[in-house]
Structures are given as structure tokens and as C-alpha cells.
Amino acid sequence: NRKKAINKKHLSLSSRELTQNYLPNCHIIEGIEYGAEDITILDGLAFLSTGLKYPGLPSYSDDPGKIYSLNLLDSDLKIKALNIKGQFDKGSFNPHGISVYTDVKDGAIYLFVVNHPQGKSQVEIFRFVEDENALQYIRTIRHELLHNVNDIVAVGTESFYATNDHYFTNEILKVMEPLLSLSWCDVVYYTPQTVQVVAGGFPSANGINISPDKRHLYVSDILKHKISVMEIQKNTVLSHVKEVDVGSLCDNIEVDRESGDLWLGCHPNGLKFMLSDPNDPPGSEVIRIENILSEKPQVTQVYSDDGSVIIASSVATPYGGKLLIGTVYQKALICDLK
């Protein structure tokens, strides 16, 4: 039992203390009060997934979740709620991971959103209508293999890879799952013709993203404090390439389309994150991985805070010399990169 206790302590990095490592010129993004769990940027336009209600974690608003846009090319940096058009239930919208896909044929932009209405798991596909700052609802995807979806990376107008962060769907078993040291979580590949598990053996699979050349997938193996690198084979099955240690519980992964660098929003102390005590809040950490496919990837802490500025960071994404940092249930921050 002592060995198990030590293992749990290691899983959660519960004894880890954080030293502050700030970036210059940081500002709270006005209007984000209830989290921006995932953020992705397309040509200077950021999409923010906000208001996630996730079992076991705090939620400070009963309002449904929203997707916001933030134009990083505008000097005033004001968020705008995206109006959802079509036959879509906005009242139960509970957005989690998001991914943007541009159709090479006609330039249409699609936003894929993991949604948990009434605690369920499904994927919504929207088309972004830029001149109206709106999302046109297209369809909802549900499948028994998509049972606890955390994050998603779109690879076509109707196809994607998704991670499941739990194996069980029963709420009590879900809470027990990390304590049982199971490695039953997986990555699922979806197209309208075929749905299959393409990688497994994760204690919990969280963030997922793809390399700029579309040849490698990156998955956050959050409880092992590693990023898994996998190569996409011709038959869409994944072959394991390597794991990169990050020393933190990293949540979402954003990939710089120019350099190929990975940017990770992380939970430096998992126990504090799970307890979410307002008097001893979980901190935040941003980690960057350069040259991940080389023999010696460079892992650097770019930002860290003990929770006094920003609580429970889950995503970080750079654009034009700035860094956006989102959280699971609190604020969002924009800073200058040094």
C-alpha cells in the first residue's frame, strides 16, 4: 500500500512547489470568467472554448458554454461571442476540446467541438461564417467509441482523431479510475465510413494535435507527464515513435504551424488541480517543446504561476509575438513572448 501511495503521489506531482516565471506585459482577457479550456488560432483569429462543466471540477456559472473569437490583429483585443445558427441546442452546450479545419477545395473553415450536454460525449461540426462572426451548425457525431472525449484534431471536413480521457462512463467509476492505475484510455479515428481505436494503453489521454506535415500525431499522456509521438500510417493506424518527458500534467497541445514547436498548457500539481481549493489554488505552467522529432527535443518552461494570477492552465498558443493562455474554469491571459 505504501508503494501505491507513493505512485499516486508521483502521478499527481502532489509535493511539487512552483517558482514564479512570468512573461512581460501580461493582461487578463476581458470577458473570460469561467474558463477557456481550449484555444486554437487560425491566421490571427483565436477561437476560445469557454464555460466547461466537468465532473469533479468547479464551475462558477450555470450558463451554457460559448465559443468566442478574438482577433489578435486588432489592437483592442476584444472577445466576441460566435452566434450559433441552425437546429442546435444552445441551452445544453458544454464545449471542451476544439479544432479548426480549412477545406483545401473551397477554403471553407470548419470548427469541430467536443460537447458534453447532460454529461454525454459527442462531437459537433460547424462551418465558420466569417463575415457574420457566426457558426453554422452542420451535424452532431455520436458513437460508442467516443464515450469520454477530451480533445480532437480534425483531418478532413468530416474526419478527426479524438482522445478519451476515461474508460468508464459511470461517474463513480470515473473518479476511481486514476486511483486504480488502469491504462485503458485510447485514441479514436473517425470518418463517416469507419470508426476505430488506433492507439491505446493511456492512463488518461488528453490533448491531441498533428504536425504541420500531417505525418505525426502528438497525444498528452497526462498522468505519465509525457507527450506521446505517433506516426500516422497509410491505413490511419498509428505507430508509436517515442515519448517526451515534460515533468507536468500537460493538458492541451497547440502546434506552431511554422516551426512545428509544441505549446502545452499544464497543471504543475495534479492534487491541487483535483482539490481546486480557492484558498490554495492550483497553479499554471506553460511548456514549449522544440525539435520534438529530433534525438534531443528541447523542453522549456515558458511561464509559471502559483495560482495568484491564473488558475489551472489548460492551453497555451502563440501568435505574432504574443502568447494566449487559457484555463479550465477561470480566466484567460495574453502576454508578450520574450
Residues of the chain with pLDDT under 70: 1-10
User: Alpha carbon of 200 to those of 2, 71, 163, 215: distances in Å?
Assistant: 28, 37, 10, 19
Is 306 known as a binding-site position? no
Cβ–Cβ under 8 Å, residues 181 and 225:
no
The C-alpha cell that represents 275 in the structure block: 482539490
User: Which of these is catalytic: 10, 27, 96, 166?
Assistant: 96
Output the pTM of the full model: 0.95
Instruction: List the one residue out of 252, 253, 254, 304 whose CA is nearest residue 282.
Output: 304
Inter-CA distances, 174 with 99, 100, 179, Å: 25, 29, 10
For residue 124, give the amino acid letter.
E
Instruction: Find out whether 172 is annotated in a ligand binding site.
Output: no
What CA–CA distance (Å, rounded) separates 49 from 2? 40
231 among annotated binding-site residues: no
Any catalytic annotation for residue 143? no
Give domain limits for the chain: 1-336
Q: Is 131 annotated as a binding residue?
A: no
* pLDDT value for 207: 98
Strand partners, 50: 36, 66
Which fold is adopted by the domain 1-336?
Answer: Neuraminidase (2.120.10)
**Ligand-binding site membership of 206 (annotated):** yes
Cα–Cα distance for residue pair 146/252, rounded to 1 Å:
18
Determine whether the annotation assigns residue 98 to a binding site.
Answer: yes
Question: What per-residue confidence (pLDDT) applies to 2?
Answer: 47
SS3 for 52? coil
